[in-house]
Structures are given as C-alpha cells and as structure tokens.
Amino acid sequence: MIGKIHNHHSAEEKTQICQEYIEALEEERRKIQVFQRELPLCLELVTQAIESCKQQLSGTTPERFQGQSECSEQTSGEIPVLEEFMPVKRNSSCDDDEEEEEEDDEEEEESEKPTKNYNYKSIDKSSKKSDWLKSVQLWNQTPDLPPIEESSPRKVSVIEVKRNGNGGAFHPFKKEKSGGTSTATNSPCSVPAAAAGSSSTETAGGCGGGGGNKEDKEGQSQRKARRCWSPELHRRFLNALQQLGGSHVATPKQIRELMKVDGLTNDEVKSHLQKYRLHTRRPTPSMHNDNNPQQPQFVVVGGIWVPPPEYAAVATATPTPLLSREESSVAAPKSIYAPIAAPPPPAPQTAKSRTPRQQCKQLDSDQRASRSHDRDRGIRCNSSATSSSARTSTASLAF
C-alpha cells in the first residue's frame, strides 16, 4: 500500500520497464553465477532484486523492499536498482581494500563469511582465475582516499613499528586476500612478525625478491637478508624525500638519516632510491600521443602507488614546501610512490627521541666486507653467461 497506485496511466509502461529490469538483472545474475563463491552477497542481492521486481509485477509488494519499491518508482526511467545492486565500481571491491594495516584485528568483515573462504586453487580454473582475479584487483582505482583525513587520525606513535604488513612496497600486485580472516594483513613476506612483534620484524623478511640466505653456513658470500620495505618504511622514505626536496636532489645518506630507521643502511636506501627514481622518471616519449587522458586510470598498487594529484596533495599538506611537482608533473600520466596516507609528522627533531627499541640488525654485521672479489666475479660471470639472455629487459622497465 504505497504510493504506487497513483500512476494509472503509466502502469503499462512501468510494467514493461520492470520486465526489462528483470531481464537485465537475470542476465547479470547469470554472469555472477560463475562467481558464486566469490561474490555470494552479490548473487544474493541480485536474486532478491529480481524476486522483488517480479513480485511487484504481480502486484504483491514485498515487504523488505517496500520502502524503495524500486520497480514502481522509476518514473524517470531510471535504474536505481541496477545501480544499487550492481557492483559497478567501488562497491564490490572497496570494502576490503582499506589501507594497509589497521590496528584493529580483523573481524567485522562483511556479513557473509564463507567458512571456506575462497580457495580458488581448484584446478582447471587456472586460466579463468587469473582473469577474474585481475578484475577483482581493479579496486586499485580506489585512489581517492583523501590523504588529508587519513593523516590526522593516524597515531604517530606507531611509526616505528613496521609490523610489516606486506613487504614489497612496490609490488604491483601482491594483494591476495589470503584468506579467510579478512583483508587485514597478508604478508607476502610470510613473516610471523606481527605476532612475535619483536625484533626481526623488518630486517629479515624475505619479501618479494631475493631471500638470499639459503644456507647460513658458508658465512661469507651470503647475501644480506633482503630488507622489507614495508609501507610504513616506504612512507618514511617518501617523507624524507620530501623534506630533502625530491628524489633527484636527495641523497641516500641524507634520506637514511631523516628516516631514522634503526638498522637501515645507506645501501639499502640507495637501492630503494634507485628503484624509486626508475619508477618515477618520465615514462617515455614512446607514448607520445595523448591518448585521451581519460580519467584517472592509475596502476595503483596495493595502495602504494597513487595518482599524482594525491601525492601533490600530500606534499602540500606537509609543512615542507619544496618538492611537489618534481614528479607529480613529470610523471603525470604515471604514478609515483606515495605514502598511503602520509601523516605528515615531519617533526624531524622530535623523532630523535624515538624508541631505540628496534630490531635487528641481526646479520647486519658486515658480511659484505668479507667478500672476495675474485671469487665473486668468477661466479658472476659464470652465472651471467648462463642466463645472460634471461636478463635483459630488467633495466629498461616499461615505466
């Protein structure tokens, strides 16, 4: 008994529109069906919508949708329902996108929580899997977290803790909603860090690339454990960069000092900086053309890469004046490394009193000092010869 009665004249039209809706919805449902496991809610919602519409058609107004009376209401020929139920963009993905790490344990999640949590490792799906996986990751387009609001709430105290959520700060993809529990932390590094919460949080880790130490014996030529550039760490890095006036003028040493991260070495910073520069430098004339700049279509990565505007905003927000466009303008079409939510507590000096309680430099001891050039070189040549062809494009990053 709602107001749907009053439009007598358009009754037929409405009916037809409704019908079309239903058809559209059903089609969508068919599509979703495949992902039943992944999008249970979605499926259910669509189903409900369909039912609802049908009931409307037959004259019965379903209770739950009464308020909306979706089908009947669209005098303007709108498609409110579709909009509501179709996960066009943010809806489906964003819910778990979140930031990187959130203090709170994970729990609320959604309403639906498949016990099995998705395990796509099924089998034959492999190819398909990657497909939809990709689509799922489109959530990247959530570049809109306003850095502003983010920054304030963040408690500055945590900084030092790099529980290292996910190591590869740069990994383009790496987000794998591991599992069931939720989005919270997936650690590419697989470091038990969080729990232990003590020392070895970031030093060890073996994130993305080289884990390095296969055997500990032979104590000499072992490569240093890879440093995990957690988002937090990267954030500091960027912060320092800003204060120094940009990646092109900042030097590794300065950066390291500003970062004030215990255990961080110049070389590490240097390496990181190198990569950073590589990524941020101008794309290349190859793209010469201005493909319609359409809209912000960034390759955001796990929240690390963000659209320039944001970066600029962050920079602006920061007390430090300089920098700002250095890369934002240059890398316009690209993206640059930016702090997820750079809480700009650039308070440089305060940091001094930071908790010394850091972790580990465990094997930070100079192992590299003891390398023997001859041997290394020999090995190197050898290996390079072996796989020379393999490595080639590494340096020429597409970016």
Partner DNA sequence: ATAACAATAT
Partner DNA sequence: GATATTGTTA
Binding mask 161-180 for DNA (x = CB under 7 A): ------xxxxxx-x------
Q: What are the beta bridge partners of residue 179?
A: 182
Query: CB of 36: closest distance to DNA in angstroms?
Result: 27
Q: Which two tokens stand for residue 264?
A: 């961080």
- 246 touching DNA, by CB under 7 A: no
Minimum CB distance to DNA smaller for 4 or for 171: 171
- 113 touching DNA, by CB under 7 A: no
Rounded CA-CA distance 208/169 in Å is: 9
How far is C-alpha 248 from the geometric centre of its chain's CA atoms? 25
Rounded CA-CA distance 81/103 in Å is: 36
Q: Which of 54, 90, 129, 277 binds DNA (CB under 7 A)?
A: 277
Which residue shows structure tokens 């203090």?
103
Taking every pair of Cα atoms in the chain, the longest distance, rounded to a whole number of angstroms, is 92
Minimum CB distance to DNA smaller for 29 or for 162: 162
- 270 touching DNA, by CB under 7 A: yes
- 295 touching DNA, by CB under 7 A: no
- 195 touching DNA, by CB under 7 A: no
* Helix (H/G/I), strand (E/B), else coil: 370: helix
Minimum CB distance to DNA smaller for 226 or for 235: 226
Per the CB < 8 A criterion, the answer to whether 26 and 49 are in contact is no
* DSSP state letters, 120-171: ---STTHHHHHHHHHHHGGGGG-TT--HHHHHTTS-GGGGG----S-S-SS-
Q: Which of 40, 211, 245, 309 binds DNA (CB under 7 A)?
A: 211
Q: Which of 188, 307, 308, 344 binds DNA (CB under 7 A)?
A: 188
How many residues bind DNA, per CB under 7 A? 59
Which residue shows structure tokens 């954030």?
235
- 289 touching DNA, by CB under 7 A: no
Q: Which of 271, 332, 333, 361 binds DNA (CB under 7 A)?
A: 271
* DSSP state letters, 288-343: -S-----S------TTTEE-HHHHHHHHHHSS--S-SHHHHTTTTTS-EE--TT--
Q: Which of 18, 228, 312, 331 binds DNA (CB under 7 A)?
A: 228
* Helix (H/G/I), strand (E/B), else coil: 94: helix
Query: CB of 216: closest distance to DNA in angstroms?
Result: 12
Q: Which of 190, 220, 355, 362 binds DNA (CB under 7 A)?
A: 190
Minimum CB distance to DNA smaller for 294 or for 393: 393
- 333 touching DNA, by CB under 7 A: no
Q: Which of 28, 272, 313, 331 binds DNA (CB under 7 A)?
A: 272
- 398 touching DNA, by CB under 7 A: yes
**Is the CA virtual torsion 258, 264, 267, 268 positive or negative?**
negative
Q: Which of 30, 128, 134, 253 binds DNA (CB under 7 A)?
A: 253
Among 164, 153, 159, which residue's Cα sits nearest to residue 347? 159
Query: CB of 196: closest distance to DNA in angstroms?
Result: 19
Residues whose CB falls within 8 Å of the CB of residue 289, separated by 6 or more in sequence, listed in order:
none
Rounded CA-CA distance 271/285 in Å is: 26
Query: CB of 200: closest distance to DNA in angstroms?
Result: 14
- Span near DNA by CB under 7 A; candidates 1-9, 55-63, 66-74, 364-372: 364-372
Kindly list the residues in this chain that would bind DNA in the complex (CB under 7 A): 167-172, 174, 188, 190, 206-212, 214, 222-229, 251-253, 266-268, 270-275, 277, 279, 367-368, 371, 373, 376-377, 379-381, 383-384, 387-388, 390-391, 393-395, 397-398
